[in-house]
Structure 1
Amino acid sequence: MNTIDLRSDTVTLPTERMQEAMSHAVLGDDSRDGDPTVRRLEALAAARTGKEAALFVPSGTMANLVALLAHTGRGGEVLVSVGSHISRTEMGGVAALASLFHKELPAPRGAIDLEALQGALNPSLLHNKLATSLVCVETSHNDAGGTVPSLEHMAKLKALAHGSGVPVHIDGARLFNAAAALGVEASKITAQGDTVCFCVSKGLSAPIGSLLCGPAAFIARARAFRRMVGGNLRQAGVVAAAGIVALEEMVERLAEDNRRAKLLAAELHELDPSLVAPETVETNIVNVDVTASRHPSSDWAAALKQQGVLVGPTKPWRLRILTHRHIGEAEARDAVAAFRKVRDGFAGAAASHAAS
């Protein structure tokens, strides 16, 4: 039985072109004179996002941490959305390492409520309130189910923040999925923030790495903070080479992952309307609500694993599934069949228990 891994798009493996590029990469010491392949990737990332410069880091979590450090001073407040990756999934680095407080703002479908933002912005230490150091936006929004704030919404958010002298950082781990969903170039999204980070190790299929992009002076500070937190690498061109292939060859195909997620959601809805609302799926993430089954997500994950399908039980009554380049039509069809078998098994067990 072949395993169908829907837990994340981080399970993607490098393409043959990536492996070839990695084996022939021109190398140097990136923390001394610079690795030429890393520099090429950074220039490509800056061009893609419309920013002056970029910095290669090992992970998205480090990219966000370094951005926080380079943007702010100690003791300020960072405004984020409810359920943001920065506040929920990065081990408290915003406080433990950056010495910052954070405040979660209401964010229907991942888009920060603008009235709440206006009320929370505090540009100086007045009235015994913390000064706002930074506003962080996430797109696509992981916890909200891969949702993408509109360009209009992001422009209004940027205007509000800048009106208070506060910069905006975009956590764009799946930036190019978001751009595909909006039908625009990624630079249209990144123009709504002062800085942005994105991963090449998710749907883009490189084995490792994220890029932090922004003004040249900001990236110079970020480079120093990368060293502080242990992110300096030596012959990093070995992995940066795969990132170059990712940006040159893999971006356009992400629209297919988004499309397949929508089809998968539609088929799960047809199986059981309580599982998912297809209209909520915008990119390659599908949140599946198993509340009506009266079986928690851990039960579903265990039962699906027995059928050869791996999913993420992200909340007690919610599963998360992600599409990626290893999930084709056949895998999607087999995954739905596994959901049907598990659903029927739970229903049969409940009926048997009621009869006894």
Structure 2
Amino acid sequence: MIIDLRSDTVTKPTKGMLDAMMNAQVGDDVYKEDPSVNALEERLAKMFGKDQALFFPTGSMANQTALKLHTNPGEQVICDKYAHIYNYEGGGASFNSGISCKLIDGHRGMFTANQVVESINPPDFYHSPLTTLVEIENTTNKGGGACWDFEELKRIKAVCDKHNLGYHLDGARFWNALVANKETTEDYGMLFDTISVCLSKGLGCPIGSVLIGNNDIMKGAMRVRKILGGGMRQVGYLASAGLYALDHHLERLTEDHKKAKEIGEVLGNLSIIKKVEPIETNIVIFELEPHVDESEFLKQLSNKNIQIIGMGSNKLRMVTHLDYTDVMHDRLFEILNKFNRRKMF
């Protein structure tokens, strides 16, 4: 039994999801003739109270399209120093859109409206890039699955409105935040100009993200997707997985959150663990004591068929997900507790 806690992207489709995929009605989505894709896009647009939604193969492509729609070359997006668009999208902001990032030194990937105000370049000062967009990520990946305070998001929206800035939500793990905080898609739709949501993380789909917005901002989205190579044909087989996930996998995210918090409790009782970051959703980030070698710790877990991510500087990450079972959960605890009973370091 391999216990893979590297990411929530490692899940396989459930039997019910596979059945839905195999029975999907499909057509050529480049011609907008795939009924399953159209149904998914219409459903998500309606959920957020927006005009349009567009299916993408990846979340990075959806985010990169949003950046392109909001900006012109030479302009600047405000985001946190932990932001996925800055750290983990291959420099796409500069490569695809010709823009730079103004990084905010936030807390666990989150910042305040006041910090946004301080980061806006004077629009009449032509020596600096023109600020045109604010981007936030909810939950924060590098911030350990932290959820934004919705009231702070509203305050940032007011700043965006005052300074005529676009407002984009990278919702790679948005569904986790939604379930954890008992918020609504309609609330987020009223705040953000564009929203990307991922289907292949907590919801367990094999592939797919969706970009959502109103007609004015989304009118060029399909062209940008084409330029980035994202035009797909009978992709309804994948879109149907998203429809199934929205019906069957959304509420169960609370199980992943519960397991993550229980893992944090066990880690917190180990003598080799220096610190466990606060756990709000399904990401567990922890730090080993200085005398513990990170690579050796990872090796010992790997020898027991447990896979996790090393982040460097003695920090590590575990992510719970749909395929992480109760049996795996008990087995993980059994192995972790042995680190206290044996002198392994």
Q: TM-score band, normalised by the shorter chain?
A: over 0.9
Q: Determine the C-alpha separation between the residues in 1 that align with 2:103 and 2:310.
A: 23
Q: Determine the C-alpha separation between the residues in 2 that align with 1:273 and 1:164.
A: 49
Aligned to 1:304: 301
Aligned to 1:23: 22
Consecutive unaligned residues in structure 2, runs of 5 or more: none
Amino acid at match of 2:266: E
Q: 1:183: Cα distance to partner?
A: 1.6
Aligned to 1:290: 288
Aligned to 1:320: 317
8 Å Cα contact 1:147-1:282 kept in structure 2 = yes
**Percentage identity across paired residues of the two chains:** 33
8 Å Cα contact 2:171-2:197 kept in structure 1 = yes
Q: 1:44: Cα distance to partner?
A: 1.2
Q: 1:344: Cα distance to partner?
A: 5.8
Report Cα offsets for 1:122-162 as digits up to 9, x if no partner. Answer: 36242522111211000000001000111101101111122
Number of residue pairs aligned between Structure 1 and Structure 2: 345
8 Å Cα contact 1:180-1:254 kept in structure 2 = yes
The 5-angstrom pairing of residues 1-356 of structure 1 reads 2-122=1-121, 124-126=123-125, 128-272=127-271, 274-277=273-276, 280-296=278-294, 298-342=295-339, 347-349=343-345
- State the secondary structure of the residue aligned to 1:256: helix
Using a 3 Å threshold, how does the CA distance of structure 1 residues 190 and 286 change in structure 2: closer, same or farther?
A: farther
Deviates more, 1:335-344 or 1:88-97: 335-344
Amino acid at match of 2:115: A
Q: Determine the C-alpha separation between the residues in 2 that align with 1:259 and 1:170.
A: 25
Amino acid at match of 1:316: S
Using a 3 Å threshold, how does the CA distance of structure 1 residues 255 and 23 change in structure 2: closer, same or farther?
A: same
8 Å Cα contact 1:177-1:283 kept in structure 2 = yes
Point out the structure with the larger helix share. Answer: 1
Q: Determine the C-alpha separation between the residues in 2 that align with 1:166 and 1:115.
A: 15
Deviates more, 1:326-335 or 1:281-290: 326-335
8 Å Cα contact 1:123-1:165 kept in structure 2 = no
Deviates more, 1:284-293 or 1:81-90: 284-293
Amino acid at match of 1:286: V
8 Å Cα contact 1:300-1:342 kept in structure 2 = no
Q: Determine the C-alpha separation between the residues in 2 that align with 1:303 and 1:39.
A: 47
- State the secondary structure of the residue aligned to 2:69: helix
Aligned to 1:352: none
Q: 1:342: Cα distance to partner?
A: 4.7
8 Å Cα contact 1:176-1:186 kept in structure 2 = no
Q: 1:19: Cα distance to partner?
A: 0.9
- State the secondary structure of the residue aligned to 2:102: strand
8 Å Cα contact 1:265-1:276 kept in structure 2 = no
Q: Determine the C-alpha separation between the residues in 2 that align with 1:97 and 1:143.
A: 23
8 Å Cα contact 1:145-1:285 kept in structure 2 = yes
Amino acid at match of 2:335: A
Q: Determine the C-alpha separation between the residues in 2 that align with 1:70 and 1:239.
A: 25
- State the secondary structure of the residue aligned to 1:197: strand
Deviates more, 1:329-338 or 1:155-164: 329-338
Q: 1:45: Cα distance to partner?
A: 1.3
- State the secondary structure of the residue aligned to 2:140: coil
Q: Determine the C-alpha separation between the residues in 2 that align with 1:262 and 1:336.
A: 12
Q: Determine the C-alpha separation between the residues in 1 that align with 2:231 and 2:341.
A: 51
Consecutive unaligned residues in structure 1, runs of 5 or more: 350-356
RMSD between superposed Cα atoms in Å: 1.8
8 Å Cα contact 1:303-1:342 kept in structure 2 = no
Report Cα offsets for 1:73-96 as digits up to 9, x if no partner. Answer: 111001111111110011100011
Q: Determine the C-alpha separation between the residues in 2 that align with 1:291 and 1:194.
A: 44
Report Cα offsets for 1:235-282 as digits up to 9, x if no partner. Answer: 11011111110112111111111111111111211234844446x100
Using a 3 Å threshold, how does the CA distance of structure 1 residues 134 and 343 change in structure 2: closer, same or farther?
A: farther
Amino acid at match of 1:250: H
8 Å Cα contact 2:270-2:340 kept in structure 1 = no
Using a 3 Å threshold, how does the CA distance of structure 1 residues 167 and 4 change in structure 2: closer, same or farther?
A: same
Deviates more, 1:169-178 or 1:11-20: 11-20
Q: Determine the C-alpha separation between the residues in 1 that align with 2:340 and 2:218.
A: 50
Q: Determine the C-alpha separation between the residues in 1 that align with 2:32 and 2:51.
A: 20
